[in-house]
Structure 1
Amino acid sequence: MATQYAITGTTAKGIAASVERGVAEGALAPGDPLPPVRRLADELGVSPGTVATAYKELRGRGLVVTRGRGGTVVAEAPSVASRRPVRVPPGLVDLASGLPDPAFLPVLRPPAEWRPVFGSHRAEPRLARLEELTRDWFARDGVPAERVTFAHGALDCIARLLSVELRPGDAVAVEDPGFHHLLDLVAALGLRLVPVAVDGEGITPDALRTALQAGVRALVCTPRAQNPTGASFSPARRDELVALLREFPEVLVVEDDYTVEIEGPPAATLSQAGLERWAQVRTVSKRLGVDLRWAGVAGDPVTISRHDGRMLMTSGWVSHILQETVAGLFADPAVSRLVAAGEAAYAKRRRALADALGSYGIRAAGGSGVNVWVPVRDESAVVNGLRTHGWWVAAGARFRIGAPTGVRITTATLPPGDAGRLAADFAEVLGDTQATYGG
């Protein structure tokens, strides 16, 4: 608890550094309260204004959040202590990673020779060949592709978009449950998370309306293969959401279409609707390999310009060697066939587990992507119970803000023949937990 860690310092920067040190070392855990401003000021012999300034700096950097009468507490995912996945215990089948099957990833072939250049690529950051392939990639799904750019992956792009558009304390609407790294990122930027409920067709209109009326400045969502639930926008749901967003044209809409071409359903995206402020991010790590830290981005002129302006001042450009590698894979028919085979296999494996669980009366969500989401009463009991049977699945806590409890199971590498055994073990574990806890 926070009372067990002695905050020190006689200046605002010193006090903030002391709190940050406590968070980084684990002495201050997520959710731990910090002392009230006046009490800490008395303990340190400084003015309340000094402590208030320290807390303000910590809030701006995403280390703490203020909850009104609940006081100031350590953020759930402070920027100095982000949550990494738990190491998979030896001997267990890893169904928690969320990663694709390596059997459906191509061998990467960087250019054999790349001659040195004079100066930098800031004046021409994008290879013309890959830029054209990227335009075609978006246009095939009806996403306007007049303005495209590149980034170092989806989270890199989203962080840049949010940091140039918003200021610490601004509110961002996010899916709940949602991608845990995104939830960590938004908090680390000092932004307020506003959860938006998800059903089988993605974010729900009622929840989005509530978030928009509450004053969110941006929405980050997944049009298909939502992580962790596998939800995808239907055309009807997309139209409902677009109608709501048109009432709030100043809100930046960012879509993370991270599983394009392996997700299953056709595109029904917000980016097809010609919103005033929008961007769609597409990555290749799930279809071409996790080492390809590259993303293509389409968006409105202002959003793309602001993104590129910030990149110009930081990394400048995405490696041209990486761009050439991605372009070669995009244009290779054999790679396209391998990706298509992966898409078919992922759909078969996902359905096999959902059907097997259903045969025991266990409801599982997972209409697309490489995961299924199973609502459960006690996440820890289920995770630990399945561990005794040799399975390692992801507890839902890191994906949730206020959503009901559940576990995520990655089916990308689960052979359909093993789905029945996993479902039987799952049913046995649920029976054990009900016998223990009742209900």
Structure 2
Amino acid sequence: MATQYAITGATAKGIAASVERGVTEGELAPGDALPPVRRLADELGVSPGTVATAYKELRQRGLVVTRGRGGTVVAEAPSVASRRPPRVPPGLVDLATGLPDPAFLPVLRPPAEVRPAFGSHRAVPRLTALEELTVAWFARSGVPAERVTFAHGALDCIARLLSVELRPGDAVAVEDPGFHHVLDLVPALGLRAVPVTVDREGMVPEALRVALRAGVRAVVVTPRAQCPTGASFSPARRDELVALLREYPEVLVVEDDYTVEIEAPPAPTLAAAGLERWAQVRTVSKRLGVDLRWAGVAGDPVTLARHDGRMVMTSGWVSHILQETVLGLFSDPAVSRLVAAGEAAYTERRLALAGALGSYGIRTVGDSGMNLWVPVRDESAVVNGLRTHGWWVAAGARFRIAAPTAVRITTATLQPAQAERLAADFAAVLGDVQATYGG
């Protein structure tokens, strides 16, 4: 434990609050060890059971983890201080954002007039025109969507679905490597994240089988352009996963289809298979703008009812001003053309860098989306080495639980002409690392 911070408290809640305060204020950093239960109990003059209860509460809330003989330590991404990327040093080309190129995002045009609402929108939370368009949006991909609901983005929806379905301590299968905000969200809800290996075709069935047999109660999965690997379901992989999940009908499957196009071509998804408990979340922030905190959600009747029941008691509805803005963008042919041009550019840029790195014998993963996942032996050495050449990429630690080390490169804004220079610099950095560390 950091010597400059002393845990205080005479009750379990007081001790837990003291540890949380230390984490929030940065006095206890990720990986810092907490004192053994008996030692802290002696120091505070309380029973070991009191300290054990405090540590249990902290574990359930995702602030600490227990590592067997390694003791209890502050989590790598404690729920009160979710992992944020480090600040980009000035003068560097930022390839760590995971965000789209602003050149392919439309100008947002909220309704010109916003008349005062009389009372609450809880009784009619969704604009009829947008609701109908969203139903058709899902239907084009074969997703059963007799009714849909809305949420404030994918993470808001996933958090609500998991919190109404599961209880603290329950296990959730997550992709590994996977979207870092999901990896942070699960423990923040007091749930246990069970890593499931991902390859180029998405979740590996045998790895998911192990998680299901271990008792996970929910699965959070991405059908295409998976972050950070770019994995997308093949029809065969989708069918394997569906057959496996049918053996566990009580498990909730949450599918985050965050890169679906406005006019999406059919793609293999779990949601289209008619599972017992399921929800598919579709967002527009990557295609229409990060300020559009809106998501369309399809799912089985029980799942949607539980989601909406909790939403009624909290935020109530998604702003109708926001809904009108999304509706206008969905209905604009010029926006559809701009999005299509962006998709073509993202593919060209991703392939250009993958090809350039491949010419140096550097293996990459990234068959779709805006990122390349590049396996490396030492993430920090590669990130810092590329920094000296003027590039800023993301260390893979933010996206991993047990997966091998790698770095993530966002190619959304990387012009093809820049790809060769980045690849040459990457190869030089790998050569320097090998010369320094060997192997």
Aligned counterparts, 1:65-214, within 5 A: 65-214=65-214
Question: How far 1:49 moved relative to its partner?
Answer: 2.7
**2:171–2:217 Cα contact (<8 Å) kept:** yes
Question: How far 1:266 moved relative to its partner?
Answer: 4.9
**2:95–2:410 Cα contact (<8 Å) kept:** yes
Q: Which amino acid aligns with 2:411?
A: T
**2:141–2:265 Cα contact (<8 Å) kept:** no
**2:186–2:193 Cα contact (<8 Å) kept:** yes
Q: Does 1:406 align with 2:406?
A: yes
Question: How far 1:38 moved relative to its partner?
Answer: 2.4
Residue matched to 2:33: 33
The 3-state SS of whatever aligns with 1:248 is: coil
**2:169–2:190 Cα contact (<8 Å) kept:** yes
* Cα distance in 1 between the residues matched to 2:71 and 2:381: 32
Q: Does 1:339 align with 2:347?
A: no
The 3-state SS of whatever aligns with 2:285 is: coil
1:353-377 per-position Cα deviation (integer Å, ceiling 9, x unaligned): 1111111111111100000001011
Q: Which amino acid aligns with 1:65?
A: V
Question: How far 1:46 moved relative to its partner?
Answer: 1.3
Question: How far 1:33 moved relative to its partner?
Answer: 2.6
TM-score (norm 2): 0.97
Residue matched to 1:312: 312
1:359-397 per-position Cα deviation (integer Å, ceiling 9, x unaligned): 111111110000000101111111111111111111101
Unaligned runs of 5+ in 1: none
Question: How far 1:35 moved relative to its partner?
Answer: 2.2
Residue matched to 2:420: 420
Residue matched to 1:372: 372
TM-score (norm 1): 0.97
**1:264–1:343 Cα contact (<8 Å) kept:** no
Question: How far 1:101 moved relative to its partner?
Answer: 0.5
**2:140–2:266 Cα contact (<8 Å) kept:** no
The 3-state SS of whatever aligns with 1:287 is: helix
Aligned counterparts, 1:219-258, within 5 A: 219-258=219-258
What is the total number of aligned residue pairs between the two structures? Answer: 439
RMSD between aligned residues: 1.5
* Cα distance in 2 between the residues matched to 1:34 and 1:147: 49
Question: How far 1:262 moved relative to its partner?
Answer: 8.5
Question: How far 1:102 moved relative to its partner?
Answer: 0.5
**1:263–1:343 Cα contact (<8 Å) kept:** no
**Identity score, percent:** 87
Q: Which amino acid aligns with 2:317?
A: W
1:320-363 per-position Cα deviation (integer Å, ceiling 9, x unaligned): 00000000000100000000111111111111111111111111
* Cα distance in 1 between the residues matched to 2:118 and 2:278: 36
* Cα distance in 2 between the residues matched to 1:277 and 1:152: 21
Q: Which amino acid aligns with 2:341?
A: A
Q: Which amino acid aligns with 1:270?
A: L
* Cα distance in 2 between the residues matched to 1:420 and 1:324: 43
The 3-state SS of whatever aligns with 1:134 is: helix
Greater alpha carbon shift after TM alignment, 277-286 vs 70-79: 70-79
* Cα distance in 1 between the residues matched to 2:41 and 2:339: 60
**2:111–2:324 Cα contact (<8 Å) kept:** yes
Aligned counterparts, 1:278-297, within 5 A: 278-297=278-297
* Cα distance in 1 between the residues matched to 2:384 and 2:245: 42
* Cα distance in 1 between the residues matched to 2:420 and 2:290: 29
* Cα distance in 2 between the residues matched to 1:194 and 1:338: 39
**2:140–2:264 Cα contact (<8 Å) kept:** no
**1:224–1:265 Cα contact (<8 Å) kept:** no
Question: How far 1:301 moved relative to its partner?
Answer: 0.5
* Cα distance in 2 between the residues matched to 1:263 and 1:352: 26
1:274-295 per-position Cα deviation (integer Å, ceiling 9, x unaligned): 0001001111000000000101
Question: How far 1:70 moved relative to its partner?
Answer: 4.2
Residue matched to 1:387: 387
1:294-331 per-position Cα deviation (integer Å, ceiling 9, x unaligned): 01111110111101111111000000000000000001
Distance 1:264 1:198, change over 3 A: farther
* Cα distance in 2 between the residues matched to 1:241 and 1:221: 11
Question: How far 1:76 moved relative to its partner?
Answer: 2.2
**1:151–1:157 Cα contact (<8 Å) kept:** yes
**1:147–1:300 Cα contact (<8 Å) kept:** no
Q: Which amino acid aligns with 1:286?
A: K
**2:230–2:368 Cα contact (<8 Å) kept:** yes
**2:99–2:412 Cα contact (<8 Å) kept:** yes
**1:59–1:168 Cα contact (<8 Å) kept:** no
Distance 1:262 1:376, change over 3 A: farther
1:1-21 per-position Cα deviation (integer Å, ceiling 9, x unaligned): 355531101122211111111
Question: How far 1:32 moved relative to its partner?
Answer: 2.5
* Cα distance in 2 between the residues matched to 1:72 and 1:379: 26
Question: How far 1:263 moved relative to its partner?
Answer: 12
Question: How far 1:201 moved relative to its partner?
Answer: 0.4
